[in-house]
Amino acid sequence: MSRFGWLRGKLSPLSGPTAAHSDSSTDKESTTTHQGSDARRIPGRPLLLTASSAGLVIVAGIAIAAFAAPGSHAAEMTAADRTATGAKAHADQPTAPLQILSVTPAPNSHVANGGKPVTIVFSEPLASNSPMPTLSPHIDGSWQVAGDSAVFTPVAGYLPSTKVTLNIPGGANGVQADGTALSTVPGAGLLASSVKDTFTTGSFSTLRLQELLSQLGYLPLNWTATSSDPAAGDANGQVAAAYNPPTGTFTWRSGYPSILRTFWLKGKGNLITTGAIRAFEWNQGLTMDGVAGPTVWRHLLSAIAAGQDNAHGYTYALASKASPETLTIWHNGRQVLRTLANTGIPAAPTTDGTFPVYLRYYYQIMKGLNPDGTKYADPVYYVAYFNEGEAVHYFPRYSYGFPQSLGCVELPLGSAAKAWPYLTYGSLVTVQG
């Protein structure tokens, strides 16, 4: 090895153990020391480091003096210097087998952050050309030697609930300490045998889901990071943040009615978040189930990277059964419609509650049974279903403002035509009795 190979290894940056957690539980993915490993350092290393550092300064100073003053000569190395240098080179050569001190994420962890680096700390600095561990399933990324550590940094990390196998090669073709090739001690600087560990990634955070949906305009709230968002512009940073969200503040956009705020729960599932997921799924051409599964997350992270904001804005509708009955719609923080409406008669009342729009038609022949058991088949326009067979739509009546329908929210033609473009998929409709 070179005269200062060991020193360079000691001065290389060390990537410390990482930790991750989901928003729902404390992550126990702390660094774990392997049983039977020898964490002791070879005595005298810190003194050698200090001496070598001083030697570098002297050598550098001589070199500068030689180039700065033409005709001057660098002092020749004395016999004592040569003896000390040879002894140092011999001391740099490993004399014991290489040991694994710790692995992060911890072996057998079930809450690993799939976007964080994988770090293995060894008992000696590694050779720069040492064979590296492998991960299964494979993902894009790179292994780097950082002093006594091997660190894998992924490009875009693992998705939740992924079981990952870490293989650390041992033996003559395995991981090697720096200076192993020069060692005269059999097996010194080599991992005695291969090691296999496993860990499982945790769950993506509902809080981070809400932060991203807010940034893309799918919520009636704005989110602002406490400091600069560490995940901004970094694909793998976004994955890591999905497991462990950055801190920040949600603030309500002005102009919405106070009742909308009662549906919001920060960091937990709620009607506003469910509606926002449906809206996102529709915009992305996905199956609209209101559930943020792996497919939704993949599209969500891609949308954040591409800046694909919600082109339809945020809509909330409130149907009131108070006399006279009305439908009021807010869009992007302002009231855009207030109109007389009809809800269901006592024999077929409109269900009270809040529901996201899940089906829309410009025109439909609406079929069903009257309370007396007879069938009906009525042509209707501007249809937005929000709860099973209940929908907001146009239906011709002599007047509006009191119960007349069989469960739907009926509107005059002009009002229905204005309401329909706002009542897009995922828009929340509250029926208040």
Give me the mean pLDDT over the 67-88 stretch: 41
Domain boundary among 284, 306, 328: 306
Same domain, 126 and 147: yes
Same domain, 166 and 256: no
Tokens coding 234: 């970094």
Give me the mean pLDDT over the 104-114 stretch: 96
Domain containing residue 77 = 5-200
Same domain, 226 and 137: no
Same domain, 297 and 329: no
Same domain, 122 and 190: yes
Residue 269 has pLDDT above 90, yes or no: yes
Confidence of residue 78 (pLDDT cuts 50, 70, 90): low
Same domain, 125 and 211: no
Q: What is the DSSP string of 141-152?
A: EEEEEETTEEEE
Domain boundary among 169, 200, 231: 200
Same domain, 166 and 18: yes
Confidence of residue 232 (pLDDT cuts 50, 70, 90): low
Q: Which amino acid is at 40?
A: R
Q: Which of 51-60, 157-166, 266-275 has the lowest mean pLDDT?
A: 51-60
Q: Which of 78-87, 183-192, 224-233, 334-343 has the highest mean pLDDT?
A: 334-343
Higher-scoring residue by pLDDT: 31, 433 = 433
In this predicted structure, what is the pLDDT of residue 73?
A: 32
Residue of 257, 414, 383, 382 lying closest to 320 (CA atoms): 257
CA 345 to chain centre: 48
Q: What is the DSSP string of 180-247?
A: GGG--STTTTBBSS-EEEEEEB----HHHHHHHHHHTT-SSEEEEESSS-TTTT-HHHHHHHHHSPPP
Residue 244 has pLDDT above 80, yes or no: yes
Q: What is the mean pLDDT of the chain?
A: 83
In this predicted structure, what is the pLDDT of residue 431?
A: 98
- Residues in CB range of 93: below 8 A, 6 or more apart: 1, 179, 180, 182, 183, 184, 185, 188, 189
Same domain, 348 and 403: yes
Give me the mean pLDDT over the 92-99 stretch: 90
Residue 87 has pLDDT above 70, yes or no: no
Pairing status of strand 353-356 against strand 334-340: unpaired
Count of domains observed in the chain: 3
